[in-house]
Homo-oligomer: A and B are copies of this chain.
Amino acid sequence: MAFKTDIEIARAAQKKPIQEIGAKLGIPTEALLPYGHDKAKIGQDFITGLKDRPNGKLILVTAINPTPAGEGKTTTTVGLGDGLNRIGKKAAICIREASLGPNFGMKGGAAGGGYAQVVPMEDMNLHFTGDFHAITSAHNLLSAMIDNHIYWGNALGIDERRVVWRRVMDMNDRALRDMVVSLGGVANGFPRQTGFDITVASEVMAILCLASDLADLERRLGDMIVAYTRDKTPIYCRDIKADGAMTVLLKDAMQPNLVQTLENNPAFVHGGPFANIAHGCNSVIATRTALKLADFVVTEAGFGADLGAEKFMNIKCRKAGLAPDAVVIVATVRAMKMNGGVAKADLGAENVAAVQKGCANLGRHIENVKGFGVPVVVGINHFAGDTEAEIAAVKEYVAALGSEAILCRHWAEGGAGIEDLARRVADLAEGGSADFRTLYPDEMGLMDKIETIATRIYRAGSVTADASVRAQLKAWEDAGYGNLPVCMAKTQYSFSTDPNLRGAPEGHTIPVREVRLSAGAGFVVAICGEIMTMPGLPKVPASETIRLNDAGLIEGLF
């Protein structure tokens, strides 16, 4: 049997008209705003009309710390949705949209893989329904209005050195990281240093993903801090009077997108905030809408459970009033081996001891997630080279912790390969054993929140922070921001801040180098390491080989 690539499988998909997919969830045709024949936005009026319906069960898919071996979190999310539908459950998935920029750097950006994919893959990796373009436009309108305000007399007294609102572009373009703008004399404004971030790093993106409706969106946009005066008084987006026009630009983007899996099950794909300086989950409005329409909603969070699940629980669920009914932690034998010290080149050889050693990473995540009061099951995403002994080692390790690890073959077999996990997840979620609790209360101090995450989730021995960082946190508490959750920006590769420290380290130190206030999104970002908000292209970017072939098909994008 010839091996098919992801894109070959995706192109062979027997897609159904998006209206038929919507009908599976009871969405009438007129409530779907089609984008082509296989994508649609769900109309705001229809969403508003759902508010008194009961919610379905919410399943979070998270993972061990990512390794170069790959863990397949999105693939498992897609597969689990298909598996639940196969066992007769009315299920939908909720995932994030892809960022355009990185697709032109490295290959990749697919939505799932193998026989667990969301389609149309090409569109999802290009402009899709234009949401990210709308976010870019809204963000940069505010930027233009800030410089325009300064140009026309600066009535608000903005300190040009303290404009914290940068510009954004959905592109990997290192040349835009650091620049001096408004050169060229009197007609062009007051020169100042600034730069561009990639669009997914925009606070507007985080807000779109946390806002409950357009009114909430507008309020949050208005709350964003864009600059400071010389005496450090904050200037808000509202002061610039950009919040109304930005909301108009985001009106369509706020409506969730509906597409389908290869097995023609509904997939909500909406929003895509960074998982470091933001919370890394799809939009609240998509998750809420899916919960009103499906009995089971499978969603995922960025990176490993130490970052992604923690933020899903402490930021998204807290702020949106959501509570997961079960959590799936995705692991692979290969990733366990790498956590156990095996190099990527040596992953082909059976190594049960390394698997056992690497399971410490998985065990830590299981323990952490259970701490949120939610039942956990492990999904082992099967790779062709996994041996029975290695798989058994993972299962035994997890069983010893009082949980269960279930082998899943959705990559090779689609929904049929993940029915066991689907049944277990359905049982857990319907069993009602979940008793969700966040890790810390709103009223805990900001530094205490950071320390709580660091010690309870990362198992750090201590947190260090300069006096200036502590003073800044104190100042924000005094200004009324003390009740916000904390968004940790840390390497995704380790529980520590050292990306090479795999497994389950403890007693390490978490240095908080910088803190930022996302007053509109509603969280304080604690930066523990280098965070890149504008990527660059590699020496030979994928864009050099991306093209349309003679058949009009896209080559090189995947």
Interface residues in chain A, defined as those with a beta carbon under 8 Å from any beta carbon in chain B:
30, 33-37, 44, 100, 104, 126-127, 130, 133-134, 136-137, 140-141, 143-145, 147-148, 151-153, 169-184, 187-189, 193, 195, 214, 218, 241-245, 247-249, 251-252, 536-537, 539, 541-548, 552, 554, 556-557
Q: Give every chain B residue within 8 A of A172 (Cβ-Cβ).
A: 144
Complex-state Cα separation, A67 to B170, whole angstroms: 39
Known contacts: A143-B173, A170-B137, A188-B175. The answer to whether A244 contacts B545 by CB under 8 A is: yes
Taking a contact as CB atoms under 8 Å apart, the answer to whether B189 and A174 are in contact is yes
Among B141, B244, B556, B557, point to the contact of A171 (Cβ < 8 A): B141
CB within 8 Å for A137 and B127 given contacts A179-B180, A245-B543, A545-B244: yes
The docked-state distance in angstroms from the alpha carbon of A418 to that of B416 is 64
A535 to chain B, nearest CB (A): 10
- Chain B residues, Cβ within 8 Å of A557: 248
Q: Is there an interface contact between A543 and B141, defined as CB atoms closer than 8 Å?
A: yes
Q: How far is the CA of A95 from the CA of B542 in the complex (A)?
A: 36
Q: Beyond A147-B173, A151-B536, A248-B548, list 11 extra A-B contacts (CB 8 Å).
A: A126-B249, A144-B175, A145-B541, A148-B173, A178-B182, A218-B547, A244-B545, A244-B547, A245-B542, A245-B547, A251-B548
Smallest CB gap from A178: residue in B: B184
CA distance A174 to B243 in the complex (A): 20
Residue of B nearest to A153 (CB): B539
Contact A171 B137 (CB under 8 A): yes
Q: Which residues of B contact A173 (CB under 8 A)?
A: 140, 143-144, 147-148
Say whether B188 contacts A181, CB under 8 Å: no
Chain B residues within 8 Å of A179, by CB? 179-183
Are B34 and A137 touching (Cβ within 8 A)?
no
Contacts A/B (CB < 8 Å), 23 sampled: A30-B37, A100-B137, A104-B141, A104-B144, A126-B251, A126-B252, A148-B175, A148-B536, A148-B541, A174-B188, A177-B184, A178-B183, A179-B180, A179-B183, A187-B536, A218-B548, A241-B543, A241-B544, A242-B543, A244-B545, A245-B556, A248-B546, A248-B548
Given known contacts A104-B141, A127-B137, A181 and B189 CB-to-CB distance under 8 angstroms: no
Closest to A147 in B: B175
Instruction: Tell me the smallest distance from the CB of A221 to a CB of chain B, in Å.
Output: 11
Distance A536 CA – B126 CA, assembled complex (angstroms): 30
Q: Which of chain B's residues has its CB closest to A146's CB?
A: B175
> Bound state CA distance, A148 and B557, in angstroms?
19
Chain B residues positioned under 8 Å from A539 (CB to CB): 152-153
Contact of A126 among B35, B148, B181, B248 (CB under 8 A): B248
Assess whether A188 is in contact with B180, with CB atoms less than 8 Å apart: no
A130 in complex: contacting residue of B127, B248, B546, CB < 8 Å: B127
7 smallest A-B Cβ distances: which pairs? A244-B547, A178-B184, A133-B133, A147-B175, A144-B173, A245-B543, A245-B546
Contacts A148-B537, A151-B536, A541-B148 given; does A175 touch B171 at CB 8 Å? no
Closest-by-CB residue of B relative to A103 is B245
Q: Of B36, B145, B171, B248, which contacts A537 at CB under 8 A?
A: B145
- Docked Cα-Cα span, A233 to B197, in Å, equals 33
Contact status B127-A134, CB under 8 Å: yes
A33 → chain B closest CB, angstroms: 5
Q: How far is the CB of A219 from chain B (nearest CB, A)?
A: 12
A143 CB to closest chain B CB (Å) equals: 7
User: Closest Cβ of chain B: how far from A467's Cβ, in Å?
Assistant: 27
- Other-chain contact of A554, B178, B248, B542 (Cβ < 8 Å): B248
Known: A137-B171, A175-B144, A178-B184. A104 touches B544 (CB 8 A): no
Given known pairs A33-B36, A100-B137, the reply for A176 and B181 (CB within 8 Å) is yes
Q: Which residues from B are CB-within-8-Å of A188? A: 174-175, 177-178
* Complex-state Cα separation, A152 to B536, whole angstroms: 11
Q: Given contacts A141-B171, A175-B182, A541-B145, is CB(A548)–CB(B244) below 8 Å?
A: yes
| Contact across chains for B104 and A245 when beta carbons are under 8 A apart | yes
Contact status B174-A187, CB under 8 Å: yes
Q: Considering the chains assembled together, what is the distance between the CA atoms of A101 and B247 in angstroms?
A: 15
A283 to chain B, nearest CB (A): 18
Q: Complex Cα distance A252/B128, Å? A: 11
Which of chain B's residues have a CB closer than 8 A to the CB of A141? 104, 171, 543
Bound-state Cα–Cα, A187 to B153, Å: 36
Give the Cβ gap from A174 to chain B, nearest Cβ, in Å.
5
Whether A548 lies near B247 (C-beta < 8 A) is: yes
Bound CA–CA A536/B188 (angstroms)? 8
What residues of chain B lie closer than 8 Å to A545, measured between beta carbons? 241, 244
User: Quick one: which of B171, B195, B547 contacts A247, CB cutoff 8 A?
Assistant: B547
Q: What residue in chain B is nearest A194 (Cβ atoms)?
A: B175
A176 to B214, CA, bound (A): 30
Which residues of B are found within 8 Å of A175, using beta-carbon distances? 143-144, 147-148, 151, 181-182, 188-189
Q: What residues on B are CB-neighbors of A241 within 8 Å?
A: 543-545
- For A169, list chain B residues within 8 Å (CB): 140
- Across-interface contacts of A152 in B (CB, < 8 A): 539
Contact residues in B for A137 (Cβ distance below 8 Å): 100, 127, 133, 170-171
> Which B residue's beta carbon lies closest to that of A185?
B178
* Cβ-defined partner of A174 (8 Å) among B35, B37, B136, B151: B151
